[in-house]
Amino acid sequence: MLDSVAENSGRYVGDDPRTMAQIQDTQNPQTALEEEIVARLAAAAESLLFVAGRPLEYTELRKLLDTDDTRLARVLDTLSEQLASQGRGIRVQRLGSQVQLVTAPENARYIAALLGLPMTAKLTSAALETLAVISYRQPMTRAQIEAVRGVNSDRALASLIQHGLVAEVGRAQTVGRPALFATTSEFLQQFGLTSLTELPHIEQVTLESQNGHTAQQALQTPIPGMEASAPEAALPEIPATPASALQTTQPEIPVTPACTPEAGLPEISDTEDNTE
């Protein structure tokens, strides 16, 4: 009965915002012990990441904490929630198989003032467009990037690599083994993200033509600013014209006998000028 007094709680369950299952879980000794272990390991993980001063591999962190993958995921989630909910000055950043502590994005101007760093980095529209393509479809080869953009991307890609936003992460298992490019942890820091899962997801893109008509097309892998390059945005099919219509619209032009090869060139005779 929901309005009954919860055992050993001293409160009415009806007044508790939690469900009966949640209250029973907290009263379960095994669950309480697991939460205590996770909280203790979250504090230990924070210390390890702080002292390391570099990204740690999941395998390395799991070995140091002497735990399994499932509990390690809970530990990192708990630590991330604690730092964010309490408004702390650091955040947990996860990229691929690595995790590290970074400063909170809202404190970027203070960090920049301390280190004498510029607050903004100038990127061309082509570089931003290339960065958007890579961030949503990484890892990608140079040819795949140019296939999406439709133009050469050498300079844009070189600019992103120079700023540390993109790096080579391996080789594709195709002919020639071209280099694969992906975003870096610097990219997450510059854009105030803790993981790639925080990238905005665009369900639909509205395409507007020159005559003002609009059309919505769902993209399986949305890319901001890449609407014109989407394979779904195909040209409208042009209906075929019947052969009979072509014959009526294009009448046959009669050929004079004098212009046929059989007739040869017409003979031109000299005429006298009688205008005098």
- Host domain of residue 180: 125-198
Indicate if 75 and 36 belong to the same structural domain: yes
DSSP 105-164: GGGHHHHHHHHT--S-----HHHHHHHHHHHHH-SEEHHHHHHHHSS--HHHHHHHHHTT
How much is the pLDDT for 260? 45
How many domains does the chain contain in total? 2
Work out whether strand 90-95 and strand 140-141 pair parallel, antiparallel, or are unpaired. unpaired
Indicate if 132 and 101 belong to the same structural domain: no
Indicate if 102 and 48 belong to the same structural domain: yes
How much is the pLDDT for 93? 92
How much is the pLDDT for 81? 94
Partner residues linked to 179 by β-bridges: 171
Indicate if 102 and 130 belong to the same structural domain: no
**Tokens matching residue 238:** 């042009």
How long, in residues, is the chain?
Answer: 276
How much is the pLDDT for 18? 52
How much is the pLDDT for 30? 83
Choose the final residue of a domain: 106, 139, 173. 106
How much is the pLDDT for 192? 83
| Chain Cα centroid distance, residue 246 | 49
Distance CA 186, CA 166 (A): 8
pLDDT tens for 198-249 read 888 765 333 343 333 333 333 344 433 333 333 333 334 444 444 444 444 4
Q: Which residues of the chain have pLDDT under 50?
A: 1-15, 204-251, 253-266, 268-269, 271-276
The single-letter code of the amino acid at 112 is A
- Predicted structure pTM score: 0.53
